[in-house]
């Protein structure tokens, strides 16, 4: 049988990424992270779109080179259709369309959040169905019941900020750079959780993080007024306290869902799943509640085309292709 070789492109936010997958095995995964947004303290959509245009060709060429694959060997080209920033998505969609047209090969659209979850199928061990996935990124926070490779049931999600935004916005208040998630993670390792930040009371499996951000802001404004060196003198403890609270909010809802749905196959995905405290918490809960836990390799936590390639491989097997008229979608249902 001939191999199935797919090129996948991810451009939904501020990472330009391309990957090649051969017979379900990711053989290259190249990502150019846009550093330019650091100076603005957040992702500027127009700047992101322009940076994708500059990076996409070299990133795709590097992914093909690393995989030792020529363009004419490709069987399909996949892309992130959404959700994400429209101008960013447009670059990846247009590029994929051009490739598909020039090579007369099919196009495969992939849902970004489904791909974060399907990143668990890149390496062993793979979760058994049905499993729960806590998907935590800069734009989303969801608890998803994954029935099979194509059926995703969102049990709960954030009603305001995402978990990644909670990290990033708290970091901004603390005067840290963007994205603050990895910086808070690093500083938290040196600190103790001595500050008590409130836990939102939200029903069901939904989340809210905007109240936490406001509480942190008011707390620090008051403390800084009393002592202008407060943040500087307590930075590690503040980071640890904020991180622990975000994690406790996530873990409480996740364990509630696991219990109610009688599921002990538990996964985490998305950029925030790179957080060392969250990874540790999942493992500790796993021991306590007898869960089988699944934590992705770091390169497949934050945005990457490897996960898009994995999702595309399964769609290829079902001949789920789209026409050249396909448009990106900033908002896209699971
Ligand atoms: O999945 P992702 O790369 O992009 C989106 O789809 O949004 O997630 C990016 C988010 C950012 O908010 C970033 O601060 C957060 O993931 N993040 C982390 C860590 N690494 C990335 N948050 C906490 N700890 C980390 N180690
Ligand atoms: Zn993402």
* CATH code assigned at 40: 3.30.420.40
Share of the chain above pLDDT 90, in %: 93
Residue 206: name the closest of 163, 172, 261 by CA: 163
Give the number of the atom of ligand 1 that is nearest the alpha carbon of residue 12. 6
What are 187-214's pLDDT values in tens digits?
999 999 999 999 999 999 999 999 999 9
pLDDT at position 40 over 90: no
Strands (E), 47-180: 76-82, 107-111, 131-136, 141-148, 151-157
Q: Is 167 in the pocket of ligand 1 (CB under 6 A)?
A: yes
> Both 104 and 201 in a single domain?
no
Q: Is 308 in the pocket of ligand 1 (CB under 6 A)?
A: no
From the CA of 163, which ligand is nearest?
1
Give the number of the atom of ligand 1 that is nearest the alpha carbon of residue 139. 7
What are 154-171's pLDDT values in tens digits?
999 999 999 999 999 999
Q: Is 296 in the pocket of ligand 1 (CB under 6 A)?
A: no
Q: Which token pair is 141?
A: 């926070």
DSSP string, 15-26: EEEEEEEETTEE
Pocket test for ligand 1, best of 119, 138, 168 (most atoms within 8 A of CB): 138
- Around ion ligand 2, residues with a beta carbon closer than 5 Å are 137, 303
What is the Cα–Cα distance from 321 to 81, expressed in whole angstroms?
13
> Both 278 and 242 in a single domain?
yes
Using the mean position of ligand 1's atoms as its centre, give its distance from the Cα of residue 136 in Å: 8
Q: Which residue's C-alpha comes closest to atom 10 of ligand 1?
A: 138
Residue 112: name the closest of 78, 147, 145 by CA: 78
> Both 255 and 151 in a single domain?
yes
In a domain, 324, yes or no: no
What is the Cα–Cα distance from 52 to 50, expressed in whole angstroms?
5
In a domain, 138, yes or no: yes
> Both 217 and 279 in a single domain?
yes
In a domain, 236, yes or no: yes
Q: Is 281 in the pocket of ligand 1 (CB under 6 A)?
A: no
Using the mean position of ligand 2's atoms as its centre, give its distance from the Cα of residue 271 in Å: 6
* Residues with Cβ within 8 Å of residue 289, at least 6 apart in sequence: 255, 258, 259, 264
Tally of domains in the chain: 2
Give the number of the atom of ligand 1 that is nearest the alpha carbon of residue 168. 14
In a domain, 329, yes or no: no
What are 85-95's pLDDT values in tens digits?
999 999 999 99
> Both 112 and 231 in a single domain?
no
Phi, psi of 33 (to 5 degrees): -90, 130
Share of the chain above pLDDT 70, in %: 100
> Both 146 and 258 in a single domain?
yes
What are 243-265's pLDDT values in tens digits?
999 999 999 999 999 999 999 99
b/e map 47-85, b = 16+ CB within 10 Å: bbbbbbbebbeebbebbbeebebeeebbebbbbbbbbbb
Q: Which residue's C-alpha comes closest to atom 1 of ligand 1?
A: 271
> Both 14 and 49 in a single domain?
yes
In a domain, 164, yes or no: yes
Give the number of the atom of ligand 1 that is nearest the alpha carbon of residue 14. 4
What are 47-76's pLDDT values in tens digits?
889 999 999 999 999 999 999 999 999 999
What is the Cα–Cα distance from 110 to 107, expressed in whole angstroms?
10
> Both 69 and 201 in a single domain?
no
> Both 162 and 106 in a single domain?
no
- Could you tell me the pTM of the whole model? 0.95
pLDDT at residue 158, as a whole number:
97
> Both 65 and 168 in a single domain?
no
> Taking a C-beta distance cutoff of 8 angstroms, is the pair 101, 324 a contact?
yes
Residue range of the domain that includes 152: 127-296
> Both 71 and 199 in a single domain?
no
Q: Is 43 in the pocket of ligand 1 (CB under 6 A)?
A: no
Give the number of the atom of ligand 1 that is nearest the alpha carbon of residue 180. 14
> Both 65 and 103 in a single domain?
yes
> If DSSP codes are grouped into helix, strand and coil, which group holds residue 304?
coil
In a domain, 26, yes or no: yes
Q: Is 84 in the pocket of ligand 1 (CB under 6 A)?
A: no
Q: Is 275 in the pocket of ligand 1 (CB under 6 A)?
A: yes
| Residue 148 to residues 131, 151, 210, Cα–Cα distance (Å) | 9, 5, 33
Q: Is 10 in the pocket of ligand 1 (CB under 6 A)?
A: no
DSSP state of 325: T
Using the mean position of ligand 2's atoms as its centre, give its distance from the Cα of residue 188 in Å: 23
In a domain, 23, yes or no: yes
Give the number of the atom of ligand 1 that is nearest the alpha carbon of residue 15. 3
In a domain, 327, yes or no: no
Give the number of the atom of ligand 1 that is nearest the alpha carbon of residue 301. 1
Task: Tell me whether residue 302 is exposed, middle or buried, using C-beta atoms within 10 angstroms of its C-beta: 0 to 12, 13 to 18, 19 or more.
Answer: buried
């Amino acid at each position: 049988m001939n191999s199935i070789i797919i090129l996948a492109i991810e451009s939904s936010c501020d990472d330009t990424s391309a990957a090649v997958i051969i017979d379900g095995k990711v053989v290259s995964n190249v990502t150019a992270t846009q550093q330019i947004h650091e100076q603005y303290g957040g992702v500027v959509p127009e700047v992101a779109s322009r940076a994708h245009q500059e990076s996409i060709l070299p990133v795709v060429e590097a992914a093909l080179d690393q995989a030792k694959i020529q363009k004419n060997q490709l069987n399909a080209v996949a892309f992130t259709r959404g959700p994400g920033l429209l101008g960013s998505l447009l670059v990846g969609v247009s590029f994929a369309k051009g490739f598909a047209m020039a090579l007369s090969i099919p196009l495969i659209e992939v849902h970004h959040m489904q791909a974060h979850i399907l990143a668990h199928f890149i390496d062993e061990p793979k979760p058994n169905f049905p499993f729960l996935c806590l998907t935590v990124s800069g734009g989303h926070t969801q608890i998803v019941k994954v029935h099979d490779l194509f059926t995703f049931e969102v049990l709960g999600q954030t009603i305001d900020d995402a978990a990644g935004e909670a990290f990033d916005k708290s970091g901004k208040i603390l005067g840290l750079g963007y994205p603050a998630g990895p910086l808070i993670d690093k500083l938290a390792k040196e600190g103790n959780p001595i500050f008590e930040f409130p836990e939102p009371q939200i029903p069901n499996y939904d989340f809210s993080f905007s109240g936490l951000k406001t509480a942190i802001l008011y707390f620090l404004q008051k403390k800084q007024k009393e002592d202008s060196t407060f943040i500087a003198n307590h930075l590690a403890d503040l980071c640890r306290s904020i991180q622990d609270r975000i994690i406790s909010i996530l873990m409480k809802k996740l364990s509630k869902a696991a219990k109610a749905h009688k599921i002990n196959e538990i996964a985490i995905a998305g950029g925030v799943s790179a957080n060392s405290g969250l990874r540790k918490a999942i493992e500790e809960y796993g021991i306590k509640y007898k869960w089988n836990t699944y934590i992705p390799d770091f390169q497949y936590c934050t945005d990457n085309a490897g996960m898009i390639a994995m999702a595309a491989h399964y769609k290829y097997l079902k001949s789920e292709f789209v026409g050249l008229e396909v448009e990106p979608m900033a908002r896209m249902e699971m």
